[in-house]
Amino acid sequence: MKCVVCKGSAVIDVRRANANFCSEHFSKFCRDQTVRAIHEFQMAEPGDRLLVAVSGGKDSLAIWDILVGLGYEAEGLYVGLGIGEYSDNSGGYARRFADERGLKLIEVDLQGEYGYDIPTGSKAARRTPCSACGTSKRHIFDKAALDGGYDVLVTGHNLDDEAAVLFGNVLRWQTEYLARQMPVLPARNGFPKKVKPLVRLSERETAAYCIINGIDYVVDECPMSAGNRHLGYKDALNDIEVQSPGSKNEFYNGFLKRASQLFRDSVGATSEGSGDFLGRCERCGSPSETELCAFCRLVDRATGSPNESGGPTQPVTLLKRSEISRSDDRPPGGRTEVH
């Protein structure tokens, strides 16, 4: 098998591109696909300060490596979730990656900062671990990006991740979710700009990028994600992909090009999910449609503090975007809500 570019020995076949690559040209393929996504969706400008949410896994370390290689000022953020040996290992991979390259890695420890970890906190809050984890990470990512003055928050979501989410949303025709499923979300109402530059690369390709470029990553899956529903979607899509290479890319990128605008038009600015009409969490100042934001409610339930009962909170007066400034008059503690 020969590299389609240099005719040297290929190490990987990328059937969806009808191409085989040697190590050097596969790495270039990955960088090119990332650059294309960044430009196509105006994810970042030269000179932007990027904060990369890093888990120690293949995707986040690959995108961090690619962005630094492209010349971006990109720093990392690792959240210690307290998931036993898995968290110990994943944190180690993130730290080693940063140390070996002289990159800055910000660390936030959930137990140390907020008094709970995912295994015990999710149980106490009667939430699934993935739900509690997602709420916690979104809050911490948003807060770190805004507090640190970063222009863009980067996550390592790849083509398989996005195609699986799209598949799930299409199965149930969740039009509001479909309207919001974009690889870039602009900064608004106390949320940082969020981007997913790996949407043109499959996770087989990000894993290969790491191995080829000597990036050690945590291979083990999070033990708490066992049975995650999206794994089933990924399997289904890969069954299609193996029969018809390029299907995942056509499905997701075809949606972005030809369908997503239709859902955005139909949902419109009246949607709560648009984020144009949000109040603020009375404790942490995050955008929220209730007195306490989802994260503060989770903290209370997970730690048994003030609103332990976890009962419904009162809706707050919703404000137009123009009425909400990004000033510093809110209490410390960050801001959140699903973005």
The contact set with other proteins (CB under 8 A) reads 1, 10-13, 20, 57-59, 126-128, 130-131, 133-135, 137, 157, 160-161, 164-165, 168-169, 171-172, 174, 177, 202-204, 206-208, 211-212, 219, 221-222, 225-235, 238-239, 241-242
Cβ 334 to other proteins shortest distance, Å: 19
Q: How far is the CB of 131 from other proteins (least distance, A)?
A: 5
Pairwise CA distance, residues 245 & 211, whole Å: 23
204 contacts: CB under 8 Å, gap ≥ 6: none
| Rounded Cα distance, 154 and 98, in Å | 16
Q: Write out the DSSP string of 71-99.
A: T-EEEEEEEE---HHHHHHHHHHHHHHHH
Give whichever of 104 and 126 is closer to other proteins, judged by the CB atom: 126
Task: Output phi, psi for 97, to 5 deg.
Answer: -60, -50
Give the 3-state secondary structure of residue 168.
helix
Residue with token string 């083509």? 159
**Range 25-36 burial, b when 16+ CB lie within 10 A, else e:** bbbebbbebbee
What is the closest distance, in whole angstroms, from the C-beta atom of residue 189 to other proteins in the complex?
Answer: 20
79 or 324: CB nearest other proteins: 79
For other proteins, the closer CB: 297 or 330: 297
Q: How many whole angstroms separate alpha carbon 307 and alpha carbon 161?
A: 34
Query: Measured from the CB atom, is 72 or 167 closer to other proteins?
Result: 167
Minimum CB distance to other proteins, residue 265 (Å): 20
Minimum distance from residue 320 beta carbon to other proteins (Å):
26
CB of 289 to other proteins, least distance (A): 16
3-state secondary structure of 108: strand
Residue number, 238 or 288, with CB nearest to other proteins: 238
- Toward other proteins, which CB reaches closer, 220 or 323? 220
What distance in Å separates the CA atoms of residue 43 and residue 193, rounded to the nearest whole number?
Answer: 9
Instruction: Give whichever of 19 and 187 is closer to other proteins, judged by the CB atom.
Output: 19
Q: What are the residue ranges of helices labelled H in 83-228?
A: 84-101, 110-114, 118-124, 129-147, 159-171, 175-180, 203-212
* Rounded distance between C-alpha atoms, residue 197 and residue 34, angstroms: 6
Q: Which CB sits closer to other proteins, 72 or 252?
A: 252
Rounded least distance, CB 308 to other proteins, Å: 18
Whole-angstrom distance, CA of residue 307 vs CA of residue 298: 9
The least CB distance from residue 221 to other proteins, in Å, is 6
* Number of Cβ atoms within 10 Å of the Cβ of 46: 8
Question: Any idea what DSSP says for residue 296?
Answer: H
